């Protein structure tokens, strides 16, 4: 049985007995760099994961184990915390976001819908079209 709970602004998923809960923090797109890095994570997940139709058939515990495995593989390959200040909980959130969208679409989406309710959100002065707001002169 999968249990989801919230604590101190983070989401936790307990997906199997005896396993530690997975922590998820929102990945905030607040600069051109974080926007570009999101593409790097998405490309990694697409290249590494099974096809969405196979992922859709997974038992919940196996799905969450896949999220954790892909996040771990990405972190080992790219060292996002050391190189970009992005935590594993944020990487895990992007991995879930990508897999969830793919399962819902039945294929790897060309475009991902980002809202204030998804694990990937626009933040700061960065708008949802990828442009940075500036004050008029």
Q: Among 44-48, 76-80, 94-98, 124-128, name the one with the lowest average pLDDT.
A: 124-128
User: What percentage of residues in the chain have a pLDDT greater than 70?
Assistant: 91
Report the predicted TM-score, pTM, of the whole model to 2 decimal places.
0.90
At residue 4, φ and ψ (nearest 5 deg) are -115, 130
**Residue whose structure tokens are 């969450």:** 64
pLDDT exceeds 60 at position 137: no
The alpha carbon of 62 is separated from its chain's Cα centroid by a whole number of angstroms, namely 17
Per-residue pLDDT, averaged over 22-33, amounts to: 94
Note the pLDDT tens digit of each residue in 50-108: 999 999 999 999 999 999 999 999 999 999 999 999 999 999 999 999 999 999 999 99
Neighbouring residues of 127: CB distance < 8 A, sequence distance ≥ 6: 133
Confidence band, pLDDT 50/70/90 cuts, at residue 38 = very high
């Amino acid at each position: 049985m999968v249990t989801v709970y919230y604590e101190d602004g983070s989401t936790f998923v307990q997906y199997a007995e005896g396993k530690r809960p997975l922590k998820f923090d929102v990945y905030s797109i607040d600069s051109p760099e974080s926007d570009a890095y999101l593409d790097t994570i998405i490309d990694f997940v697409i290249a590494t994961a099974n096809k969405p139709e196979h992922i859709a058939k997974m038992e919940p515990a196996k799905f969450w184990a896949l999220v954790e495995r892909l996040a771990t593989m990405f972190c080992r390959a790219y060292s996002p915390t050391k190189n970009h200040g992005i935590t594993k909980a944020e990487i895990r959130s992007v991995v879930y976001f990508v897999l969830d969208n793919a399962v819902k679409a039945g294929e790897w989406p060309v475009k991902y819908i980002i809202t204030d309710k998804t694990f990937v959100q626009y933040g700061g002065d960065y708008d949802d079209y990828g442009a940075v707001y500036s004050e008029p002169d």
